[in-house]
Amino acid sequence: ELSDIAHRIVAPGKGILAADESTGSIAKRLQSIGTENTEENRRFYRQLLLTADDRVNPCIGGVILFHETLYQKADDGRPFPQVIKSKGGVVGIKVDKGVVPLAGTNGETTTQGLDGLSERCAQYKKDGADFAKWRCVLKIGEHTPSA
């Protein structure tokens, strides 16, 4: 199953649509167009991405979603994962819980979310996710990352 998912994501001409903006990140996008950051406006914005012109379908192998998005629905009542799968895409989910400063370092960060990861992944799988994304931010420099 994993091999099939990976091949579908990276098939010739395909890529990943990263639609996993956090509530805070999407707020900046909405603010830039004078729109209030409400759950309904975030759902509508994401619906626009996921129901765009079908001519983009051959280019998208997978879509990474934010937790909130996995459980939102299109205007026609279909959950967003079903919308993605109906277009031939695979559904990904962001599973890390963001980065925080790492004490005692020169501005480095660490990623949160290992606690409960196995349980979250199992639930996300049941809820329609096919793969997961984990983000780790490394500061690269003369003295970083630290040992």
pLDDT at 146: 84
pLDDT band at 120 (very low <50, low <70, confident <90, very high): very high
Q: What average pLDDT is seen over the chain?
A: 95
Q: Helices (DSSP H) in 10-105: which residue ranges?
A: 23-32, 39-50, 67-70, 80-86
Cα 39 from chain centre:
16
Q: Helices (DSSP H) in 58-116: which residue ranges?
A: 67-70, 80-86
pLDDT band at 53 (very low <50, low <70, confident <90, very high): confident
**How would you classify residue 2: left for phi > 0, otherwise alpha for psi between -120 and 50, otherwise beta?**
alpha
Share of the chain above pLDDT 70, in %: 100
- Which residues are bridge partners to 133 per DSSP? 94
- pLDDT for residue 64 is more than 90: yes
> What number of helices (H) and strands (E) belong to the chain?
6, 6
Residue extents of the structural domains in the chain: 2-94+114-131
- pLDDT for residue 128 is more than 80: yes
| Out of 99-103, 117-121, 123-127, least confident range | 99-103
Please tell me whether the overall predicted TM-score, pTM, comes out greater than 0.85 for this model. Answer: yes
